[in-house]
Structure 1
């Protein structure tokens, strides 16, 4: 009971933090895009592009949170919580597209380096770094509890590293005049983002494919269930996640055939799964020791 209440509070916190971070990021993104064209810096444009995906990720996350609040109905009995995972997957694909675009542009620039206004580039990059640090602070708590917020946090985090790279590039260009450093830093930002984006996409796909959630050892769960007094066997065990932090389990239990023990076994296993493995939604079918199970395959045989 209290777990559900806390979960709602966390979601509300995620929403407030996302709104604040979205306002900061969107406002500075416009200034950074203008500055990128004025200074001629591809690295700064790369950082601006990442800020754009930051803003889109946060906007999509906010939409996902609103849709996830809709109650379950007769067509979607689990509700709309999984929309959050769809948003996280979309954010990952968007980041992939931006990273590859920047890599292509960096290659083009290395063939013909452009003139860079390093002073303006440095000032804008420093301001961008401050905005990223504030946004990361706002999103850090929620990133460990929600894949959706994690997606937005990762984008801001990678953009923060990009801002540091732009600052370094601006200083190097000011001291040496090496304009090609701008393209190298832009490419480095792209390569830095790709593996982290892959992790986000992989986590999202695991949820969409109803894989066992990260951090859950299905063998340990089964062993713990078998250890409950009265449980003789466990089969047809499935564990998956509806969305971040909402794990679901279904299983068949073979229990003692003694009268009155089934409900006791059911209550003990349910409590065990909730307390030890944080599995909030449990569906169990209890069978007697003499229960004969014939599946569809057996019927056709």
Structure 2
């Protein structure tokens, strides 16, 4: 067994919980204000932006929940721990966003036929206030985005919503100076179409992780070629790479080797995978011939190397 366990067990982003809580409080409070404001001013653009701000609130809540739940140790029933909670929540968030986005598009079509009177001044004030809230939230999160994928995802959500607020402000100004009420629906449609692709990516990536697919940032063919290129390695099979949660990849593989110095091969493979692919949670088995699935030959020699990175 390889004994290299030089890593931290503290969940990434733990030190940023306070800032996440502050950003969540600000964003959730303004979400309520924006929904009420959108109804009062009859601005679909505000309601559309509120739908996007809802993704900010969800992303922040998921980030906080993932940090807290990831602290729970693995047990006999959940040997990989509780990291999958983040992915389940993200998939639910994506499905909910699809429903909201399609409703916004449907409502916008109806309003194009008969635009209602819109209180552009109130729309402008609320959107400007929303932009200020987003800027404050971005300031709170910018320092932690390099340390945690959760925090980075939340930061990008807030940044995207800030751009949506700018769009609503522009729409309100156009309505104020031109009286073109259809601009409100046009802005809502633009925000909706902008959110949909990002929502699809979120759902696609979540499903890929739940199906234990190869992560998008992993080149399986390149990994296989590099493993075969190691000294005394003649073949690679049963190669699997999947994610437990975002940014936490796992690899298992069988190596066919021509030496009895298994540890040397295992150490070389472990070093290469960590250096070239940032894969630190790996299980590698060495053997002198390709084993049949479901069959263990007692005459084959095998050795397993395990390294774990729970950071």
Question: Structure 2 length as normaliser, TM-score?
Answer: 0.85
- Aligned match of 1:279: 279
Q: How far off its partner does 1:198 sit?
A: 1.0
Query: Per the alignment, in what secondary structure is the counterpart of residue 216 of structure 1?
Result: coil
Q: Give the direction of change, closer, same or farther, for the CA distance of 1:24–1:69 in structure 2 (3 Å limit).
A: same
Deviation at 1:292, TM superposition (A): 5.9
| 2:56 counterpart residue number | 54
Q: Deviations over 1:235-276 (max 9, x none)?
A: 111111111221111111111244xx1111112211221122
Shift of residue 52, structure 1, vs aligned partner = 2.9
SS in 2 for 1:234: strand
Greater RCO, 1 or 2 (C-alpha within 8 Å, sep 6+): 2
Q: TM-score, normalised by structure 1?
A: 0.88
Q: 2:78 aligns with which of 65, 76, 79?
A: 76
CA distance in 2, matches of 1:182, 1:196: 22
Q: Please state if 1:187 is matched with 2:185.
A: no
SS in 2 for 1:80: coil
Counterpart pick for 1:295 among 281, 293, 296: 293
- Secondary structure, counterpart of 1:70 in structure 2: coil
Structure 2 CA distance, aligned partners of 1:9 and 1:60? 14
CA contact 1:87–1:148 (8 Å) conserved in 2: no
Q: CA RMSD in A?
A: 2.4
Stretches of structure 2 lacking an aligned partner (at least 5 in a row)? 296-311
Q: d(CA) in 2 for partners of 1:142 and 1:240?
A: 26
Q: 1:105 to 1:144 in 2, by over 3 A?
A: farther
Contact in 2 for aligned 1:88/1:147 (Cα 8 Å) = no
Q: Counterpart of 2:266? A: 266
Q: Where does structure 1 lack aligned partners over 5 or more consecutive residues?
A: none
C-alpha distance in 2 between matches for 1:52 and 1:74: 36
How many Å separate the matches in 2 of 1:227 and 1:194? 43
**Secondary structure in 2 matching 1:210:** coil
CA deviation string 1:53-89 (max 9, x = no partner): 3223322332233222211111111111121111222
Write 1 or 2 for the structure with the bigger share of helix.
1
The match for 1:21 is 23
Q: Is the 8 A contact 2:239 2:253 kept in 1?
A: yes
